[in-house]
Amino acid sequence: MIHRCARSLGTEYGGFTLVELLIGLAILGILSMVAVPSMNNMIRDARLSAQTDLLIHVLNIARLEAVKQRASMTVCPAANPDTDNVCSASATDWANGLMVWDGAAITQRIQSKRDMTVNSNAAVSVVFAGTIGSATATTFTLCVPGRREQQVNVAVSGRISKQINATICP
């Protein structure tokens, strides 16, 4: 409600009362308290999807390079992807990051995001053959606590697919 005050000179001033402004601020505060938690969940889902899509991209690039160079390309976990020069022997290191190795040198290094778990079905590496891009069959599961898990499947043919499961991550 806008009140108008008339002055003796005929000029009118409009505005809100202090009570109306306080009610408006209270409504705004309540709406923001409801919106912020769902916004945080949306951001966590987006980060998980971005990391999953990055893993798919790296696997596709490794497959493409294997076919192009007619040589095997290995995607493997790294305990420290910034400094390691060899693949890790532990399947649990996928959560730290990964590297793409062509047999002679590391061609790409990727770090995983914090607060995210990456598990594979006991695969220590994914090797794409240089002939038709066939690969070691592997399933990766990416999780953020409290959100739905995302899976990346690598078929023996080299085909890579993504699915979002109904399972909530612990």
Determine contact, residues 64/88, Cβ cutoff 8 Å: no
For residue 93, the 8-state DSSP code is: G
Asked if residue 1 belongs to a domain, the reply is no
Which residue range(s) make up the domain with 112? Answer: 16-168
**Residue 151 maps to which CATH number?**
3.55.40.10
Report pLDDT digits (tens) over 136-163.
Answer: 788 988 888 888 999 999 988 889 999 9
Report pLDDT digits (tens) over 30-66.
Answer: 888 887 777 888 888 888 899 899 999 999 999 999 9
Asked if residue 2 belongs to a domain, the reply is no
Asked if residue 120 belongs to a domain, the reply is yes
Count of structural domains within the chain: 1
Q: pTM above 0.85?
A: no
Asked if residue 3 belongs to a domain, the reply is no
Asked if residue 6 belongs to a domain, the reply is no
d(CA 140, CA 161): 10
